[in-house]
């Protein structure tokens, strides 16, 4: 499914993000930037060991040894990936008692990644479903935030192509439901 928003496109697809040849792919990382499981592990595996070296340099030079904060984003080369760049962002770990603060942080992941891609003059980006795996965010809630955040950014910027790269048909239909809501608001 692909829709036009203010001259940009927002597409939903079921695919392996490590195979996407957009200018950038987004990694659902953790604050250490040293890799992990899920999509983070798959991206590091496919990009090769230069990716973790680039992440180490960011930790030392840009973050002065600190972890990347939840909702923030940094960029590296894509090395062996088809995508030229990887944007690493840290999604929130789900915790019902703190939901509205976490929603804002998840929104920041999408907006800051798009902003960083724009700063690098990139015009296409693929996102995974941030926080809905190991970080246990409720899928429908995360999908609504992702679609609204990307939609809002595209509505107010000339960007290009944004893709949500989902790992299953079930995830795809949850995201499609949210995208249908912003195209045909009732
Ligand atoms: N392509 C597209 N989507 C994928 C792929 C892939 N190759 N692999 C997994 N997914 P998760 P999180 C989907 O757990 O919840 C890591 O250890 C997956 O099915 O990767 O943000 C990090 O280091 C799910 O729908 O990310 C952090 O510690 C979605 O990607 C932590 O996990 C996100 O699941 C981050 O957890």
pLDDT, the chain, mean:
97
Does the interface ipTM go beyond 0.90?
Answer: yes
Which residues on adjacent β-strands are paired with residue 86?
Answer: 25, 76
Per DSSP, the residues of 75-104 read: EEE-TTSSSSEEEEEEPPPP-GGGHHHHHH
Decide if pLDDT at 105 tops 80: yes
The set of catalytic residues is 40
Over the stretch 10-26, which tens digit does the pLDDT of each residue have?
999 999 999 999 999 99
- Supply the pLDDT for residue 183: 86
Task: Return the residue matching tokens 């890799």.
Answer: 35
Alpha helices in 36-168, H assignment, sequence order:
38-47, 50-57, 99-119, 139-156
d(CA 42, CA 30): 14
What digits encode the pLDDT tens for the residues 23-79? Answer: 999 999 999 999 999 999 999 999 999 999 999 999 999 999 999 999 999 999 999
Give 91's pLDDT tier (boundaries 50, 70, 90): very high
Q: Which residues contact 94 (CB under 8 A, 6 or more apart)?
A: 102, 131, 135, 136, 137, 138
pLDDT score recorded for residue 184? 83
pLDDT band, residue 186 (cuts 50/70/90): confident
Q: Is 161 exposed, middle or buried (0-12, 13-18, 19+ CB in 10 A)?
A: middle
- What is the position in ligand 1's atom list of the atom closest to the CA of 35? 23
Q: Separation of 167 CA from ligand 1 center, angstroms?
A: 9
* Strands 8-14, 2-5: pairing kind: antiparallel
What's the gap in Å between 126 CA and the centre of ligand 1?
13
Instruction: Pick the atom of ligand 1 nearest to 16's CA.
Output: 1
Residue 8 is predicted with a pLDDT of 98
What atom in ligand 1 is closest to the CA of residue 167? 3
| Secondary structure of residue 29 in the 3-state scheme | strand
Distance separating alpha carbons of residues 156 and 151, to the nearest angstrom: 9
186 C-alpha to ligand 1 centroid (Å): 32
| Residues at CB less than 6 angstroms from ligand 1 | 16-18, 28-30, 36-40, 42, 91, 128-135, 165, 167, 171
pLDDT at 185 over 80: no
Output the CA angle 123-82-170, nearest 5 degrees.
80
């Amino acid at each position: 499914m692909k829709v036009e928003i203010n001259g940009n496109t927002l597409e939903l697809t079921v695919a392996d993000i490590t195979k996407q040849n957009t200018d950038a792919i987004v990694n659902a990382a953790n604050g250490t930037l040293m890799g992990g499981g899920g999509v983070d592990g798959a991206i590091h595996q496919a990009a090769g060991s230069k990716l973790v070296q680039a992440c180490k340099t960011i930790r030392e030079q840009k973050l002065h040894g600190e972890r990347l904060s939840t909702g923030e984003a940094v960029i590296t080369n894509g090395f062996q990936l088809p995508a030229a760049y990887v944007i690493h962002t840290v999604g929130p770990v789900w915790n019902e008692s703190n939901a509205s603060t976490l929603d804002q942080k998840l929104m920041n992941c999408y907006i800051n990644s798009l902003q960083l891609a724009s700063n690098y003059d990139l015009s296409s980006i693929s996102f995974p479903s941030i926080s809905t795996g190991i970080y246990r965010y409720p899928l429908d809630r995360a999908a609504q935030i992702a679609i609204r955040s990307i939609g809002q950014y595209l509505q107010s910027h000339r960007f290009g192509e944004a893709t949500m790269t989902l790992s299953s048909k079930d995830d795809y239909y949850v995201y499609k439901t949210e995208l249908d809501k912003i195209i045909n608001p009732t």
